[in-house]
Structure 1
Amino acid sequence: MQRLLARIACWIPVPRYVRMNKDDGADVDDVLDSMLGDSLLWCRDLEKHACGEFSFAVVQANEVLEDQSQVETGRDATFIGVYDGHGGPEASRFICDHLFLHLTKHVREHGTISEDILRSAFSATEEGFLALVRQTFGIKPLMAATGSCCLVGIVWRGTLYVANLGDSRAVIGSSCNSNKIVAEQLTQDHNASIEEIREEVRSLHPDDEHIVFMKNGVWRIKGIIQVSRSIGDAYLKRSEFSMDPSFPRFHLPEPIRRPVLTAEPSVYSRALRSQDKFAIFASDGLWEHLTNQQAVEIVHNNPRAGIARRLLKVALNEAARKKEMSYADIQKLEKGTRRNYHDDITVVVIYLDHELLEDKLQAPELSIRGFMDTVGPSNFSILHGIANNA
């Protein structure tokens, strides 16, 4: 066993696995599992941000990864983005490349962060992608049938801002008496499986009796898509794309008269309280297998290092159990085939260390893209001057 560990140590990139002492909560078995287990699982086990630490993990199931994600750390703020694509990766990749840039542009212009600034960044991203679809439609018409859910979180000056389209989800874990942890869902799932969402969609389309109906046992908008809000999905928002024969899989019986889906996010903000210990941002692939309470209890009861990967592993074990398989069996499957057992899943766990909200932690200013494992400087340092002048 010692020889095996010695050999593996030569393969492991030093920066990612330097936290292997007992005090940091790392586990040799976890390292072995990461290196020798799931080749489609990527993680950053523990990194610093402006008011604590975060853990980041992604697992691929589709032939081409449709989840895109990023964490941007600045001296005074932290940005989390989880973008769950559907129909292809084009929309989620576009969001990852543009939404944060739109946000920083609006922050620079207005000198602050607010719910309205978040809405403006979402709107600019939507308009940019629809413009790209229109420009490239002649050579790449299938882009009109791609879209993405979009979940964003920002921690700045003791406030948490969250904006959401679709059914990715943000959940906060708060302590209560007896050292228990309680889950609070911060976002609304914009999914037609929820009666409230179906009623919302029907109220917006009173003249369309087929705006939402059940198909193959699943509630869907126009019998096609489950989410009621997204970025992209141009064929459900612009009449010029709605009847194009290039994507017969998404057939509409008649041209749309108004957008079927909306890109208006649900936005929420709260002043962080001392009992707020961490927040989990994840695509719906995690919540398909774990309840909110199960997820926060896993985070609360386990070491920080590798906690996002641990959440993924619990979800994947549950996905395997539902198919009367083991996770080891699923690990042997190729991407694409693996989508029959679970979705692409992205998880970011942000710890909220309140003493650091007062003491300025010297966290690195980094931009980290999930799964791609690209790391570079972040533009979020723009908020440092704003924080000082506010």
Structure 2
Amino acid sequence: MGCCVSTSSRSTCSTRSHGGAVSPSCFEVGFCGQKRTKRTFSDHVIALQHLPSVPNRIFTNGKSRTSCIFTQQGRKGINQDAMIVWEDFMSEDVTFCGVFDGHGPHGHLVARKVRDALPLKLLSSMHSYQSRQNGSGRTCFRGNSKKSDGGDSEKDGSAEDRLNSIWKEAFMKSYKAMDKELRSHPNLDCFCSGSTAVTIVKQGSNLFMGYIGDSRAIMGSKDSNDSMVAIQLTVDLKPDLPREAERIKRCKGRVFALQDEPEVPRVWLPFDDAPGLAMARAFGDFCLKEYGVISIPEFSHRILTERDQFIVLASDGVWDVLSNEEVVEIVSSAPTRSSAAGILVDSAAREWKLKYPTSKMDDCAVVCLFLDGKMDSESDYEEQGFSSATLQSNHSGNAVESDDGQKSEPSLQRNFTVRSSEESDSYGRLPPEFEGNADTVAAEDQNWLGLEGVTRVNSLVQLPRFSEERPNP
């Protein structure tokens, strides 16, 4: 049932948070060259059906050692958002986080499938690399890229570039394999359904990011005055971004906004005014894959510093109504870290009622990862209304996901995110890899926010009709 991977082999490298001198840590699933009882990657495997029992993997509302996650259904039907935090991912100093926002009739199933399978494919890609390296007699890299003075700086820089290249290849391969599996899935129709993905891997002081669609990751960091600032880590991949629009048009797809929603660019088939997808990249949505919508992720790498405090991943139900700065303020001022994700979702829900009182609130999913590796005590957590049983269930990963008796009829749901040119300079800061890179995306396209007075709509306007009469090429 899908791919299987090993997660039981723990690295013998020391676990440390970002910053400071640390000992080597493997990016691999194996060990750092120390003598231990021999185990192969296939000694302990995890199939998809066994994922709920994996230790240190949480995917329902709760907390882990270093993070908290929370999701709330909107008012449009079944919750199509999914999320995950997987600590000790491959080795003790590696954490995987992801948020996935489904859309279309089966978007909730697509998002959950990606949540479960994509991390396994990433593990598999890294294992393949490890196997090749073991065959060539090479050893593991350091997980913390901290350049030293003198003659080692060039060597360290080369190692950092190589580590970055390895992770980029792994993200690219795993995203490609994920979309391929969805296309051939016998029981999941992804023709007009799909999902976004924003995924990060934190390995020591290294942060690797891969993402498609319009879910977003930001970071709360302290500036030189010790004031909290918001740093945007990802780009909302909308159809009107110059590079995205050019690719779609080159593939005969069309990009335009409807007359009654001029701020919402959409992707349309060349021969029909459908489906009107409000994003340029997604898993699934195979009706548009021949016309420019892709599942190739944007990839970026960042070195974390002591000033970096936490990372927030969220679906656009949050970003539609809250700015990057507002999110950082809410998380940093939460009474306990364990409650930060829930409080953020509650704040978004209140903003929805204030800004869009006649609209149906979108689903919201949030992951808050605290970079110093600290979390509240259980007593603090229980003060927020969570029981010890809930703690144990979520921390061990044994929680069983359910729809709580909700009806699961197919529904076309998800909202767009639109930007205001007047506000574009005031929300969030971009990471260095985006600055000055006009080929990637224009500066005004980096920060997106729901505008007051704009009618809220779905990400898909309608399903393709595919009439027999098509215009001649």
TM-score range, shorter chain: 0.5 to 0.7
Report if the CA contact (8 A) 1:149-1:230 is conserved. yes
Structure number having the greater helix percentage? 1
Structure 1 length as normaliser, TM-score? 0.65
Within 2, Cα distance between the matches of 1:301 and 1:176?
Answer: 17
Report if the CA contact (8 A) 1:57-1:370 is conserved. no
The 3 A distance-change label for structure 1 pair 128 and 208 is closer
> Given the alignment, which residue of 232, 245, 259 partners 2:284?
232
Alignment of 1:36-47 (within 5 A): 43-44=61-62, 46-47=63-64
Q: Does 1:341 align with 2:360?
A: yes
Report if the CA contact (8 A) 1:162-1:269 is conserved. yes
Aligned to 2:341: 308
Aligned to 1:191: 238
Deviates more, 1:59-68 or 1:164-173: 59-68
Map Cα deviations across residues 39-82 of structure 1 (whole Å, 9 max, x no partner). Answer: xxx731x420xxxx211100012422211121111122111111
Aligned to 1:219: 265
Alignment of 1:56-205 (within 5 A): 56-61=69-74, 62-74=76-88, 75-87=92-104, 88=106, 89-111=108-130, 114-132=167-185, 135=186, 142-192=189-239, 195=240, 197=241, 199-205=242-248
Report if the CA contact (8 A) 1:55-1:350 is conserved. yes
The 3 A distance-change label for structure 1 pair 207 and 106 is closer
Q: Secondary structure at the match of 1:317?
A: helix
Within 1, Cα distance between the matches of 2:183 and 2:77?
Answer: 25
Aligned to 1:320: 353
Shift of 1:372: 2.4
Structure 2 length as normaliser, TM-score? 0.54
Within 1, Cα distance between the matches of 2:243 and 2:318?
Answer: 25
Report if the CA contact (8 A) 1:160-1:269 is conserved. yes
Structure number having the greater strand percentage? 1
Report if the CA contact (8 A) 1:201-1:211 is conserved. no
Report if the CA contact (8 A) 1:58-1:344 is conserved. yes
Alignment of 1:263-282 (within 5 A): 263-282=295-314
Within 2, Cα distance between the matches of 1:372 and 1:279?
Answer: 25
Map Cα deviations across residues 210-236 of structure 1 (whole Å, 9 max, x no partner). Answer: 610111313211161110000100111
* Aligned partner letter, 1:214: A
Q: Secondary structure at the match of 1:109?
A: helix
User: Which one scores higher on RCO, CA 8 angstroms, separation ≥ 6?
Assistant: 1
Contiguous gaps of at least 5 residues in structure 1: 1-41, 238-257, 326-339, 357-363, 374-390
Q: Secondary structure at the match of 2:246?
A: helix
Alignment of 1:291-302 (within 5 A): 291-302=323-334
Contiguous gaps of at least 5 residues in structure 2: 1-59, 131-162, 376-391, 403-473
Within 1, Cα distance between the matches of 2:173 and 2:196?
Answer: 16
Report if the CA contact (8 A) 1:70-1:367 is conserved. no
Q: How many residues align?
A: 277
Shift of 1:208: 7.1
The 3 A distance-change label for structure 1 pair 210 and 149 is closer
Within 2, Cα distance between the matches of 1:190 and 1:318?
Answer: 24
The 3 A distance-change label for structure 1 pair 355 and 287 is closer
Aligned to 1:333: none
The 3 A distance-change label for structure 1 pair 324 and 127 is closer
Map Cα deviations across residues 271-296 of structure 1 (whole Å, 9 max, x no partner). Answer: 11111110000011100111001111
